[in-house]
Amino acid sequence: MIIIIPTPLRQYVDGQSKIEVTAPTVKGALDALTLERPELRKHLFNAEGKVRAFVNVYLNDEDVRYLPQKEDSAVMENDTLTIIPSIAGGSACSAQPSAFSGQLRLQTSN
Amino acid sequence: MSVLHISTDLYDAMRAHGEETYPHECCGVLLGQFSHGDWHVTAVARAGNTRTDSAHNRYSIDPAELVRIQRDAMRHGQDIAGFYHSHPDHPAQWSATDFAEAHWIGCSYVITEVRYGKAAVTNAFLLAGTAEEDKRFDPMDVRLDESIGGTSK
């Protein structure tokens, strides 16, 4: 099966956007992906070995969290697993850590 | 300082999106290529804001929509270069919420202040660092580059 790697994690897979692995389940596929890539594993899993909360994993078009078997869901050779970090934010709670307060920049350049 | 290269048309399209959704936040995805330390945006894709409970000051993109946008982009040889959103009646400066919810290290986060319904200042920030533990927002230069072209989706 193919695993789609998001932009931020490609540095851990030699810049590749897709990695082919062979595994029976979603969990097996993620393990196969990270077995020899400890730095990548650190970015995908927390200290308890669970996929980090902000990392979404989609089996084809389905969020693995909502599949009946979750990460134990079976995968087929022609399936695609997509790793996609969440994206959110907004102007709420605009107070910033003082360490970053010097980074305000107002510009548009031609 | 890294640079976000984008055409005037795409730049204006992002800002117009913020005016259209005012007084709610808009959001979307920047698509393009990374080259010589800079992002070159060749398309922007609008996304829906799922935070209907607090759309005036929060945004979130449905990951399923993001998967579809990424899949389509890859078919066209594009990568996700970053994201944009608006701050209605609020400065174009990243907030604590923006920082806490930013996870695309190496990508650009563009924020447009929309004041009284009109796009005002637009700023871009690079999510720099190596991991959640040391990530930070660095300012980026936005360079309007007509040679880059691009499409708004």
User: What's the domain range around A9?
Assistant: 2-85
State how many domains chain B has: 1
Residue A102 lies in a domain: no
Cβ of A93 and B95 within 8 Å? yes
Residue A91 lies in a domain: no
Indicate which CATH number applies to the domain containing A32.
3.10.20.30
Neighbours of B136 (CB within 10 A): 16
Asked whether B124 and B5 are in contact (CB, 8 A), the reply is no
Nearest to B60 by CA among B112, B113, B98: B98
Q: What is the ipTM of this complex?
A: 0.91
Cβ of A8 and B79 within 8 Å? no
Asked whether B141 and A105 are in contact (CB, 8 A), the reply is no
Indicate which CATH number applies to the domain containing B70.
3.40.140.10
Chain A residues close to B138, C-beta within 8 Å: 103
pTM of the model: 0.91
**Residue of B64, B95, B131 lying closest to A89 (CB–CB):** B95
Using only C-alpha atoms, what is the Rg of chain B? 14
Cβ of A43 and B131 within 8 Å? yes
Residue A109 lies in a domain: no
State how many domains chain A has: 1
Residue A13 lies in a domain: yes
The tens place of each residue's pLDDT in chain B, 153 residues long, gives 899 999 999 999 999 999 999 999 999 999 999 998 899 999 999 999 999 999 999 999 999 999 999 999 999 999 999 999 999 999 999 999 999 999 999 999 999 999 999 999 999 999 999 999 999 999 999 999 878 777 777
Asked whether B44 and B28 are in contact (CB, 8 A), the reply is yes
Residue B153 lies in a domain: no
Residue B87 lies in a domain: yes
Residue A52 lies in a domain: yes
Residue B152: which H helix or E strand, with range?
Answer: strand B151-152
Residue A56 lies in a domain: yes
Flag whether pLDDT at A44 surpasses 90.
yes
